[in-house]
Chain A
Amino acid sequence: MYETNYHRPRDLDEAKSLFAAAAEGRYLSGGMTLLPTMKQRLAAPSDLVDLARLVELKGIVVTADTVTIGAAVTHAEVATSAEIRAVFPALAALAGQIGDPHVRHRGTIGGSLANDDPAADYPAAVLALDATIVTTQRTLEAADFFQGLFTTALEDGEILVSVAFPIPAKAAYAKFPNPASRYAMAGVFVAILEDGSVRVGVTGAGQDGVYRDATFEVALTADFQPSALDAIVVDPANMLADLHGSAEYRANLVKVMAKRAVAAAGSS
């Protein structure tokens, strides 16, 4: 790892001014992506501004129709939150599938979303539910937040503060993890909203990152059964291809995971 200056601000205002004063600053949350990237010398920020302990980014608030999670809440905290498990168990289950137990103790929802890895798990749920993302500067809809591989609407110095999920009537996430990295080879989040509409978010597979599958959504709104997807062929043209799986493989995997998620949501 190249040299870097570590800062632990007391609050968001100090974090923003430390970032602004840095030659090439990066915000650090759980560090589960940034630190390995720095160890590989693929990133070399002059300054790290640690957000992980800021109380302004902590906390889980559950109301009648919304779950709001602070950006610095860890995956383990979401996975084990009794409040979230009671009203939105699919989100707790998703968080419990990220990485491994040690990664879940450090990694945060805000870090995951700000990083926008195309194989990360949270973006599938955030996009499917069009969750609201609150930053130090504004409020963003999920559809406007994700802008491709490792690219979000966040501007230089802007900090993701919290994310608010509308609580769906039913939901489930099905993921086929890469056996080495535990990242999704394909992960599909399926939800029925309170108004009866169906949303499908797909991660790990699309070459432009997380996306909603409109064809799946139409078919499942008409008939919320795994068999409703039988006749749909997912186009490999838009799929990622790498040494772990071809585009054709991922296209098939998206459909398989979607059917599993529908089956799981239907029985929830």
Chain B
Amino acid sequence: MMTSVSMTVNGKERRADVEGRTLLVTLLRETFGLTGTHVGCDTSQCGACVVHVDGKAVKSCTMLAAQADGSAVLTIEGLAHGSELHPVQAAFHEHHGLQCGFCTPGMIMAAVDMIERHDARLDEATIRHELEGNICRCTGYHNIVKSIQAAADHMAGQRHPGLVQAAE
């Protein structure tokens, strides 16, 4: 049985006919061609597939496409404004928060969600704890944590002008 779904993906209205079993990540990658979202495991543990659905970070490999019907989906491709990187993307670039890059889309989407939920006020222990749903097999997380801290401090500086920034 095919189901017709429509959703906003990175600000654009999209619709598709999907099987009941089609995963959101499959719809994004194979139907919409948005291959920035990765599939790194088959057990819902690695977080490479994290996207935002209605403003919340979710594992798109553990959600049916039909469950996202009517929702607003944000993927890594929708984060930058034109050629201007999102502050979290810029921080991963600046602080070399990756090696092979496979986990990076999920890491960045998780980091954006993390920073939003904490209103950009993050310390190292919180960042490390909050990353428990995202696995990186290269970096040992050190530069990922540094990147997220730098992005959070940058965004906090924009939101809370009086705040003393930890990283500067």
As a 0/1 sequence over residues 109 to 121 of chain A, the CB contacts with chain B under 8 angstroms (1 = contact) are: 0000000000000
As a 0/1 sequence over residues 24 to 57 of chain B, the CB contacts with chain A under 8 angstroms (1 = contact) are: 0000000000000000001111010010000011
B21 near A1 (CB under 8 angstroms)?
yes
Given A35-B64, A180-B45, do A105 and B56 touch, yes or no (CB 8 Å)? Answer: yes
Range of interface residues on A (Cβ < 8 Å): 20 to 34
Given A39-B42, A100-B133, do A3 and B47 touch, yes or no (CB 8 Å)? Answer: no
Range of interface residues on B (Cβ < 8 Å): 20 to 34
| Candidates B1, B61, B134; contact of A5 at CB < 8 Å | B1
| Candidates B56, B66, B69, B130; contact of A76 at CB < 8 Å | B56
| Candidates A52, A100, A180; contact of B47 at CB < 8 Å | A100
CA distance A101 to B58 in the complex (A): 8
Q: In this assembly, does A16 line the interface, its C-beta being within 8 Å of a C-beta of chain B?
A: no
Residues on the A chain within 8 Å of B132, using CB: 100-101, 182
Q: In this assembly, does A247 line the interface, its C-beta being within 8 Å of a C-beta of chain B?
A: no
Interface residues of A (CB under 8 A from B): 1-6, 8, 28, 31-32, 35-36, 38-40, 48, 50, 52, 76, 99-103, 105-106, 180-182
Known: A6-B67, A48-B64, A50-B67. 14 other contacts (CB 8 A): A1-B21, A2-B21, A3-B19, A5-B1, A6-B3, A8-B66, A35-B62, A36-B62, A38-B21, A50-B66, A102-B50, A102-B58, A106-B59, A106-B63
Residues on the B chain within 8 Å of A76, using CB: 56
Q: Which residues from 57 to 84 on chain B have a C-beta closer than 8 Å to any C-beta of chain A?
A: 57-59, 61-64, 66-67, 69
Enumerate 23 A-B pairs (CB-CB under 8 Å) in ascending A order.
A3-B20, A6-B1, A6-B20, A6-B21, A8-B69, A31-B64, A32-B62, A35-B44, A36-B43, A36-B44, A38-B21, A39-B42, A50-B66, A76-B56, A99-B133, A101-B57, A101-B113, A101-B114, A102-B50, A102-B133, A103-B133, A105-B58, A106-B59
A4's nearest neighbour on chain B, judged by CB, is B20
Residues on the B chain within 8 Å of A48, using CB: 20, 64
Interface residues of B (CB under 8 A from A): 1, 3, 19-21, 23, 42-45, 47, 50, 56-59, 61-64, 66-67, 69, 110, 113-114, 117, 130, 132-134
Residues on the A chain within 8 Å of B21, using CB: 1-4, 6, 38
Residues on the B chain within 8 Å of A181, using CB: 45
Given A102-B57, A106-B58, do A40 and B20 touch, yes or no (CB 8 Å)? Answer: no
CA distance A102 to B62 in the complex (A): 10
A35 near B63 (CB under 8 angstroms)?
yes
Residues on the B chain within 8 Å of A36, using CB: 43-44, 62
A5 near B20 (CB under 8 angstroms)?
yes
Given A2-B21, A4-B21, A8-B69, do A101 and B110 touch, yes or no (CB 8 Å)? Answer: yes
B47's nearest neighbour on chain A, judged by CB, is A102
Residues on the A chain within 8 Å of B59, using CB: 102-103, 106
Q: Which of B3, B20, B47, B130 has the most CB of A within 10 A?
A: B20
CA distance A48 to B1 in the complex (A): 12
* List of 6 A-B pairs having minimum Cβ-Cβ separation, nearest first: A100-B133, A6-B20, A105-B56, A6-B66, A1-B21, A5-B1
Residues on the B chain within 8 Å of A4, using CB: 20-21
